């Protein structure tokens, strides 16, 4: 009974704390601007099933995709056992799902095999990150300090949870053996560990309980770790894919206020709709483009919380490949760090700091542009959409980059000089080069075609 009450308290505390953190993050995302969505619900659900549940885009790279699949399926299936643990904890029952009969054998055996595979996959993940020459995309200026530590902590926690599960099962098996009872379920991995268990019944009881408690408390603690971690993607990937853009990747967003302005210039009778007003009834003057996080669309902010920092975007970025400062992943991580610095932060908050970083000339101001993302990074983008294509959870770094370029050009008039020349060429000549518009048709001079005898 005491254990049940204790469990109830621990579970309530763990879940309550998690809800509190999620609400803070939701509030951060809602700071973003509205975004016209488009597309049907069924189209969005299909995309979510394919890309998020089905991990379609992960399989562009087969090795990490398979390793990730093991951990992902392991997570989903082992969570069924977590439900059992929860029910047992509350009801004081023991292995309640044994009512499933042979189904319980299948479930437990699957869990055990997956659990072992998870440990193998996690070891491989650790090796890819921590060996002498790690996989290139798992390095970079944005992957130091907290993000680097975070990635390893996740791996350690996953192994610890699996070991707790095996400890619990092996101790339970041994107890049943000693007491001459039939243990419900089949445990192929723990069966191998039974030999390691003590013959002391009391010690086994304690060990089984310790394994049980570590597993469940570990899960609740991990749940509360998520909002501070890239591992939050296990939840956010789903809404992020659901709300991702469905239009062709080449179609960039429009700025409605500019459309109204241009229309009223072309047609004096055009009625510009009244601007939105704030609580006091004063018109809200919106900034062109994005200087800081609240100027971005809420979907851009949702992107930031869905990022696993896998770096597939950065590894295919032509600018990054050729040694430029731009890393699409950094743009996304900076967005998240800045949001948490400016608005609400989760339990653990350690934003990346680029002060003193030689190549990264950030200002004291702290805003997303200048304070974290430098114009040099933004101007290196070729808008090629490789990052958008590569992201397994449909994050769109390009959308944010364009919003920040709009701010630089329209608010600061701070485009590189050669681009200003290009702008004035378009204005004056109708072409980005300094050619006379009257020469535009010269290409057609002295043009001949061979008539083929037929």
Rounded to 5°, the CA angle 384-404-311 comes to 50
Determine if 423 is a binding residue for other proteins (CB under 8 A).
yes
| Residues 327, 439 contacting (CB under 8 angstroms) | no
* Given 27, 120, 178, 321, the residue binding other proteins (CB under 8 A): 321
First to last CA, the chain: 98
- Which of 20, 435 has the CB closer to other proteins? 435
CB of 283 to other proteins, least distance (A): 20
Determine if 132 is a binding residue for other proteins (CB under 8 A).
no
Q: Which of residues 2-41 bind other proteins (CB under 8 A)?
A: none
* Given 95, 137, 370, 372, the residue binding other proteins (CB under 8 A): 137
- Which of 195, 441 has the CB closer to other proteins? 441
Residues 6+ apart with CB under 8 A from 305: 25, 28, 29, 232, 236, 240, 336
- Which of 188, 416 has the CB closer to other proteins? 416
- Which of 93, 249 has the CB closer to other proteins? 249
3-state secondary structure (DSSP) of residue 132 = coil
CB of 437 to other proteins, least distance (A): 6
Stretch of 66-74, 233-241, 293-301, 415-423 lying at the interface with other proteins (CB under 8 A): 415-423
Which letter does DSSP use for residue 325 in this model? S
Query: Structure tokens of 285?
Result: 């003057």
x-marked contacts with other proteins along 328-347 as a string, rule CB under 8 A? --------------------
Q: Which of residues 143-202 bind other proteins (CB under 8 A)?
A: none
- The number of C-alpha atoms within 13 Å of 36 and in the hemisphere containing its C-beta is 7
* Given 70, 197, 226, 386, the residue binding other proteins (CB under 8 A): 386
| Residues 301, 29 contacting (CB under 8 angstroms) | yes
CB of 274 to other proteins, least distance (A): 20
Determine if 53 is a binding residue for other proteins (CB under 8 A).
no
* Given 23, 26, 60, 94, the residue binding other proteins (CB under 8 A): 60
CB of 381 to other proteins, least distance (A): 5
Per-residue CA distances from 221 to 13, 112, 145, 218 (Å): 10, 22, 22, 5
The 10 Å CB-count burial string (b at 16+, else e) for 296-313 is: bbbbbbbbbbbbbbbbbb
- Which of 355, 443 has the CB closer to other proteins? 443
CB of 443 to other proteins, least distance (A): 4
Q: Which of residues 247-276 bind other proteins (CB under 8 A)?
A: 247-252, 254-255, 258-259, 261-263, 265-266
Query: Structure tokens of 161?
Result: 């949870």
* Given 3, 130, 200, 382, the residue binding other proteins (CB under 8 A): 382
Q: How far apart are CA 79 and CA 114, in angstroms?
A: 12
Q: Which of residues 274-313 bind other proteins (CB under 8 A)?
A: 288-289
Helix (H), strand (E) at residue 316: helix 312-316
Residues in the chain: 454
């Amino acid at each position: 009974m005491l254990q049940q009450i204790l469990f109830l308290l621990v579970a309530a505390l763990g879940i309550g704390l998690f809800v509190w953190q999620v609400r803070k993050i939701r509030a951060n995302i809602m700071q973003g601007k509205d975004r016209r969505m488009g597309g049907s619900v069924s189209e969005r659900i299909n995309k979510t099933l394919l890309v998020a549940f089905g991990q379609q885009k992960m399989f562009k790279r087969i090795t990490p995709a398979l390793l990730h699949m093991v951990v992902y399926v392991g997570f989903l299936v082992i969570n069924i056992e977590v439900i059992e643990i929860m029910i047992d904890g509350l009801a004081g029952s023991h292995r309640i799902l044994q009512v499933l009969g042979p189904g319980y054998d299948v479930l437990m055996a699957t869990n055990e095999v997956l659990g072992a595979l998870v440990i193998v996959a996690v070891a491989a993940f650790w090796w890819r990150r921590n060996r002498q020459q790690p996989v290139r995309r798992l390095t970079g200026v944005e992957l130091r300090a907290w993000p680097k530590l975070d990635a390893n902590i996740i791996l350690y926690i996953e192994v610890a949870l699996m070991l707790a599960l095996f400890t619990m099962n092996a101790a339970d098996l041994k107890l049943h053996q000693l007491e001459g009872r039939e243990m419900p379920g089949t445990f192929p991995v723990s069966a191998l560990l039974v030999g390691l268990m003590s013959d002391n019944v009391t010690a086994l009881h304690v060990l089984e309980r310790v394994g049980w408690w570590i597993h469940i408390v570990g899960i609740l603690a991990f749940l509360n770790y998520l909002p501070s971690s890239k591992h939050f993607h296990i939840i956010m990937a789903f809404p992020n894919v659901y709300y991702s853009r469905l239009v062709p990747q080449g179609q960039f967003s429009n700025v409605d206020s500019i459309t109204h302005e241009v229309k009223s210039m072309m047609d004096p009778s055009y009625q510009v709709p009244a601007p939105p007003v704030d609580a006091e009834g004063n018109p809200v003057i919106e900034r062109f483009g994005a200087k800081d996080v609240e100027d971005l669309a809420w979907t851009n902010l949702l992107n930031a919380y869905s990022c696993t920092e896998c770096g597939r975007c950065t590894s295919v970025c032509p600018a990054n490949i050729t040694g430029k400062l731009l890393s699409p992943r950094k743009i996304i991580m900076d967005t998240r760090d800045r949001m948490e610095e400016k608005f609400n932060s989760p339990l653990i908050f350690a934003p990346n700091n680029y002060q003193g970083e030689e190549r990264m000339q950030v200002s004291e101001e702290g805003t997303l542009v200048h304070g974290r993302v430098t114009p040099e990074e933004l101007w290196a983008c070729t808008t090629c959409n490789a990052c958008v294509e590569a992201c397994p959870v449909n994050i769109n770094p390009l959308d944010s980059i364009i919003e920040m370029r709009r701010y630089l050009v329209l608010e600061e008039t701070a485009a590189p000089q050669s681009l200003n020349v290009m702008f004035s060429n378009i204005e004056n000549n109708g072409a980005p080069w300094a050619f006379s518009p009257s020469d535009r048709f010269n290409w057609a001079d002295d043009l001949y075609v061979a008539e083929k005898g037929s």
